[in-house]
Chains A and B, each alone.
Chain A
Amino acid sequence: MDNLSWLLEGLSQAATPMNLLYACIGVLLGTAVGVLPGIGPAMTVALLLPITYNVSPSAAFIMFAGIYYGGMYGGSTTSILLNTPGESSSVITALEGNKMAKAGRAAQALATAAIGSFVAGTIGTLLLVLFAPIVSRFAVSLGAPSYLAIMLLALVAVTAVLGSSKLRGCISLLLGLAIGLVGIDFLTGQPRATFGIPLLSDGIDIVVIAVAVFALGEALWVAAHLRRKPAEVIPVGRPWMGKADWKRSWKPWLRGTAFGFPFGALPAGGAELPTFLSYITEKKLTKHPEQFGKGAIEGVAGPEAANNASAAGTLVPMLSLGLPTNATAAVMLTAFVSYGIQPGPTLFDKEPLLVWTLIASLFIGNFLLLALNLPLAPLWAKLLRTPRPYLYAGILFFAVLGAYAVNLQWLDLALLLVFGLLGLMMRRFGLPVLPLIIGVILGPRIERQLRQTLQLNEGNWSGVFTEPIAVAVYVVIAVLLVAPFLGRLVRGRVGTPATELTREKENA
Chain B
Amino acid sequence: MTATVNRPPESGDTSARRPRDLAQFGVCAVLVVVGVFLLVDAMNLTAEFAKVDPVGPKLFPVVIGAGMLICAVALAIATLRGSRAEPESGEDVDVSAPADWKTVGLLVGLFVATIALVDVLGWVIMGALLFGGAATILGNKHWIRNLVIGLVLSLVSFYAFYVGLGIPLSAGILDGIL
**Chain A contacts to B: CB under 8 angstroms:** 37-38, 50-51, 53-55, 78, 82-86, 91, 94-95, 164-165, 167-168, 170-171, 174-175, 177-178, 181, 185, 187-188, 190, 192-193, 218-228, 230-231, 387-390, 392-394, 396-397, 400-401, 404-405, 408, 410, 413-414, 417, 420-421, 424-425, 427-431, 443, 447, 450-451, 454-455, 458-459, 461, 502, 506
Q: Do the beta carbons of A174 and B64 come within 8 Å of each other?
A: yes
**Residues of A contacting B131 with CB < 8 Å?**
393-394, 396-397
Task: Tell me if B153 is interfacial: C-beta within 8 Å of chain A.
Answer: yes
Interface residues on B, range: 35 or more
Which 5 pairs across A and B sit closest by C-beta, in order of nearness? A37-B91, A393-B134, A393-B135, A389-B138, A389-B140
**1/0 per residue B76-88: CB within 8 Å of A?**
0010000101111
Q: Are B91's CB and A82's CB within 8 A?
A: yes
A447 and B104 alpha carbons, distance in the complex (Å): 37
**Which residues in A have their C-beta under 8 angstroms from that of B56?**
188
State whether A188 touches B103 (Cβ < 8 A).
Answer: no
Give Cα A501–Cα B8 distance, bound, in whole angstroms: 12
Q: In this complex, what residue of B is CB-closest to A219?
A: B107
Indicate with 1 or 0, residue by residue over B1-42, a CB within 8 angstroms of chain A CB atoms: 110111011011000000000011011001100100110011
Whether A458 lies near B130 (C-beta < 8 A) is no
Task: Determine if A425 and B26 form an interchain contact, defined as CB atoms under 8 angstroms apart.
Answer: yes
Q: Pick the contact of A430: B11, B26, B71, B91 (CB < 8 A).
A: B11
A178 CB contact (under 8 Å) in B11, B38, B97? B38
A181 adjacent to B64 (CB under 8 Å) = yes
Residue on B nearest A499 in the bound complex, by CB: B9
B87 and A428 contact, CB distance less than 8 A: yes
The 0/1 profile, CB within 8 Å of A marked 1, for residues 92-134 of chain B is 1111010111011001100110111011000100010011101
Of A82, A447, A454, which one neighbours B54 at CB under 8 angstroms? A454
A393, B146: Cβ atoms under 8 Å? yes
- Chain B 147-175: CB-based contact to A (< 8 A → 1; otherwise 0): 00110011001000100111111100000
- B108 & A177 in contact (Cβ 8 Å cutoff): no
Given the known interface contacts A226-B94, A393-B146, the answer about A190 and B46 at a Cβ–Cβ threshold of 8 Å is: yes
Contact of B127 among A400, A413, A428, A502 (CB under 8 A): A400
User: How far, in Å, is B158 (CB) from chain A's closest CB?
Assistant: 9
Chain B, residues 47-81, CB within 8 Å of chain A (1/0): the string is 11111111111001100110110010011001000
Chain B positions within 8 Å of A53 at CB level: 165-167
| A177-B64, A404-B169 known; A388-B139 Cβ under 8 A | yes
> Is B90 part of the binding interface, using a Cβ–Cβ cutoff of 8 Å?
yes
Pair count A-B, CB < 8 A: 266
With CB as the reference atom, state the residue of chain A lying closest to B5.
A94
Chain B positions within 8 Å of A175 at CB level:
34, 68
Q: Are B53 and A390 in contact (CB under 8 A)?
A: no
Residue of B nearest to A91 (CB): B5
A-B contact pairs, 15 of them (CB 8 A): A168-B11, A177-B60, A178-B34, A188-B53, A192-B45, A224-B103, A388-B138, A392-B138, A393-B132, A401-B169, A417-B111, A430-B85, A431-B85, A447-B60, A506-B8
The answer to whether A164 touches B86 (Cβ under 8 A) is: yes
Q: Please tell me which one of the listed residues A54, A220, A231, A443 contacts residue B164 in the complex, with CB atoms under 8 A apart.
A: A54
When distances are taken between beta carbons in the complex, the residues of chain A under 8 Å from B111 are 396, 400, 413, 417, 420
C-alpha spacing A185/B164, complex, angstroms: 36
Interface residue from A220, A428, A506 paired with B107 (Cβ < 8 Å):
A220
Residue of B with least CB distance to A426: B88
Of all chain B residues, the one with the shortest Cβ separation from A223 is B103
Instruction: State whether A86 touches B45 (Cβ < 8 A).
Output: no
Task: For A221, give its contact among B23, B88, B164 (CB under 8 Å).
Answer: B88
When distances are taken between beta carbons in the complex, the residues of chain B under 8 Å from A443 are 60
How many angstroms between the C-alpha atoms of A455 and B6 in the bound complex? 53
Cα separation A410 to B67 with both chains bound (whole Å): 32
Contact of A225 among B83, B94, B136, B169 (CB under 8 A): B94
B53 and A228 contacting across the interface, CB-CB below 8 Å: no
* Chain A residue with Cβ nearest B34: A178
Chain A residues near B83: list those with CB within 8 A. 165
- Contacts A174-B71, A393-B135 given: A224-B104 contact, CB under 8 Å? yes
How far does the Cβ of A339 sit from chain B's closest Cβ, in whole Å? 15
**B112 pairs with A417, CB closer than 8 A:** yes
- Most chain A Cβ neighbours within 10 Å, of B8, B88, B132: B88
Residues of chain A within 8 A of B138, CB atoms compared: 223, 226, 388-389, 392-393
Please measure, in the bound complex, the distance between the C-alpha atom of A185 and the C-alpha atom of B104, giving whole angstroms. 37
B residues near A393, Cβ cutoff 8 Å: 130-132, 134-135, 138, 146, 150
Q: Is the CB of B27 within 8 A of A431?
A: yes
Return the chain B residue nearest A401 by Cβ. Answer: B157
Name the one of B53, B103, B153 contacting A454, with C-beta atoms under 8 angstroms: B53
- Cα–Cα distance between A230 and B104 once the two chains are bound (Å): 19
Once the chains bind, are A220 and B115 in contact (CB under 8 Å)?
A: no
Q: Is the Cβ of B4 less than 8 Å from the Cβ of A84? A: yes
Q: Is the CB of B93 within 8 A of A227?
A: yes
Cα separation A413 to B37 with both chains bound (whole Å): 22
- Best-surrounded residue of B37, B83, B134, B157 (most CB of chain A within 10 A): B134
Give Cα A167–Cα B75 distance, bound, in whole angstroms.
Answer: 7
By a CB distance below 8 angstroms, the chain B residues around A387 are 140
- Among A225, A390, A392, A417, the residue within 8 A (CB) of B100 is A225
Chain A residues near B139 (CB-CB < 8 A)? 226, 388-389
A428-B41 in contact given A85-B5, A94-B5, A165-B12 (Cβ < 8 Å): no
- B23 proximity list for chain A (CB < 8 A): 428-429
What are the residues of chain B within 8 A of A190 when measuring CB–CB? 45-46, 57
The distance in angstroms between the C-alpha atoms of A221 and B93, with both chains bound, is: 8
